[in-house]
């Protein structure tokens, strides 16, 4: 089975940046779709950005022009570079893979506050 460890979250002021990492262990995720989800306080979990099994990149509206998702298959790691952070970006950010292999990470907290 696959296990994920997310890191890189923290407290940042509005307009700031963070880079999240999601390291997978257990098997290679090359050719497996992976994505970043988030769940804000009192909100439903939502997809933010994802990398297809063919390594194409996709973004939901909330992430467009501010976030960049990437994957390093050699390191079995997915990243999320978040710039121009807003108060509403406050959430637990989780990584997930789906398709041939399905797994969720435990999440990393991102808090945007002045």
Tens-digit pLDDT profile for residues 66-110? 999 999 999 999 999 999 999 999 999 999 999 989 999 999 999
pLDDT band at 113 (very low <50, low <70, confident <90, very high): very high
Residue 1 pLDDT greater than 90, yes or no: no
What confidence score (pLDDT) does residue 106 get? Answer: 96
The pLDDT of residue 100 is: 87
- pLDDT score for 86: 97
Q: What is the pLDDT of residues 17-74, one digit of tens each?
A: 999 999 999 999 999 999 999 999 999 999 999 999 999 999 999 999 999 999 999 9
Q: If 0-12 CB within 10 Å is exposed, 13-18 middle and 19+ buried, where does residue 29 land? A: buried
DSSP code for 56: -
Give the residue from 1, 81, 87 showing the smallest Cα distance to 40: 87
pLDDT confidence of residue 93: 98
Distance CA 36, CA 55 (A): 14
């Amino acid at each position: 089975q696959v296990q994920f460890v997310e890191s890189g979250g923290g407290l940042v002021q509005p307009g700031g940046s963070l880079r999240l990492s999601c390291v997978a262990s257990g098997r290679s995720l090359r050719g497996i779709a992976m994505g970043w989800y988030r769940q804000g306080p009192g909100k439903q979990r939502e997809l933010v950005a994802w990398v297809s099994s063919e390594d194409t990149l996709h973004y939901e509206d909330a992430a467009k022009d501010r976030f960049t998702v990437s994957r390093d298959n050699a390191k079995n790691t997915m990243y999320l570079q978040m710039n121009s952070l807003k108060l509403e970006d406050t959430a637990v950010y989780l990584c997930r893979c789906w398709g041939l292999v399905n797994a969720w990470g435990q999440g990393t907290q991102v808090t945007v506050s002045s």
